[in-house]
């Protein structure tokens, strides 16, 4: 049964591509609007040969990595503080719960006014998407830590800083990891909004230019590249998390 599942999994993508190719060339749909995988592959190959792919890939990767890192650091830090200290939670949590549902794409007009077409605005949008997801997971994770362990550590004279690092943070780490992994995917969603905010390079920027020129093959190639980037980032994070947070 396991071998059968592996075989089916290995065949799923080739079967999908074959069905896509057949439907696109059957005449049922307009090939200009729905090009087959062979045409998409040619468009991607031309994109790579032109040298633009690598500059676009590098620009998008920089925005995702930088925005994710800043959002994760801020989210974990404030999540631990609001989860552990009721006064900080009373001050910040209501505000965060009001701001959290606002989608990053809604900030595109104001980000252009605030930051112009600079990289700062694009990083802000990715940061926004990552921060609240990580903050909420860290906040909940800290609140789930056994209070008895915390009281015992304080009674034994454990310094508060050491207690936060070795008991609170480690106890909340499984929740934080889940939030971080979710934020990896969210960072790619918000990249779309970020690069629509006046970018001059990047995979989403190239998709937009191709759409304006009715280069549907390159549009779908860009979507495939974006999906592949997100998939690889998610699997890499999952592999690292499984090895580092082994006790979860």
Query: Cα–Cα distance between 204 and 61 in angstroms, integer?
Result: 11
Position 1 scores a pLDDT of 66
Position 37 scores a pLDDT of 87
Would you list the domain boundaries of the chain? 31-244
Position 66 scores a pLDDT of 95
Position 4 scores a pLDDT of 67
Position 31 scores a pLDDT of 82
Position 248 scores a pLDDT of 52
Per-residue pLDDT tens, the chain, 248 aa: give them.
Answer: 667 677 776 777 888 888 888 888 888 888 888 888 888 899 889 989 988 899 999 999 999 999 999 999 999 999 999 988 889 999 999 999 998 888 888 888 888 888 887 888 899 999 999 999 999 999 999 888 777 666 776 676 667 676 776 677 777 888 999 999 999 999 998 988 888 877 788 898 899 888 888 888 889 999 999 989 999 999 998 888 887 775 55
Topology given in CATH for the domain delimited by 31-244: MetI-like fold (1.10.3720)
Position 156 scores a pLDDT of 67
Long-range contacts of 238-241 (CB under 8 A, 24+ apart): 238/181, 241/177, 241/180, 241/181
Residue 216: closest CA among 28, 24, 23: 24
Query: Cα–Cα distance between 176 and 191 in angstroms, integer?
Result: 22
Residue 248: closest CA among 137, 155, 109, 153: 137
Residue 163: closest CA among 89, 244, 85: 85
Query: Cα–Cα distance between 135 and 154 in angstroms, integer?
Result: 25
DSSP reduced 3-state for 159: coil
Q: Measure the CA angle with vertex 115, ends 109 and 120; round to 5°.
A: 115
Query: Cα–Cα distance between 222 and 210 in angstroms, integer?
Result: 9
Distances in Å between the Cα of 178 and the Cα atoms of 7, 32, 107 are 29, 41, 26
Query: Cα–Cα distance between 17 and 163 in angstroms, integer?
Result: 53
Position 171 scores a pLDDT of 79
């Amino acid at each position: 049964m396991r071998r059968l599942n592996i075989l089916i999994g290995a065949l799923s993508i080739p079967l999908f591509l074959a069905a896509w190719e057949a439907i696109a060339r059957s005449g049922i749909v307009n090939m200009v609007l729905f090009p087959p995988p062979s045409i998409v592959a040619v468009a991607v190959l031309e994109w790579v040969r032109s040298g633009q792919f690598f500059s676009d890939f590098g620009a998008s990767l920089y925005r995702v990595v930088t925005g994710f890192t800043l959002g994760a650091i801020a989210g974990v830090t404030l999540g631990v503080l609001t989860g552990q200290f009721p006064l900080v939670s009373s001050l910040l949590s209501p505000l965060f719960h009001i701001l959290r549902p606002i989608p990053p794409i809604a900030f595109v007009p104001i980000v252009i006014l605030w930051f112009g077409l600079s990289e700062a605005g694009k990083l802000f949008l990715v940061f926004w998407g990552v921060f609240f997801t990580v903050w909420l997971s860290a906040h909940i994770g800290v609140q789930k830590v056994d209070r008895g362990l915390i009281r015992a550590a304080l009674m034994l004279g454990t310094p508060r800083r050491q207690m936060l690092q070795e008991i609170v943070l480690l106890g909340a780490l499984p929740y934080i990891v889940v939030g971080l992994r979710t934020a990896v995917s969210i960072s790619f969603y918000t990249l779309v909004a970020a690069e629509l905010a006046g970018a001059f390079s990047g995979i989403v920027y190239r998709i937009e230019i191709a759409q304006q020129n009715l280069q549907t093959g390159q549009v779908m190639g860009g979507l495939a590249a974006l999906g592949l980037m997100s998939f690889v980032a998610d699997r890499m994070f999952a592999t690292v998390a499984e090895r580092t947070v082994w006790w979860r």
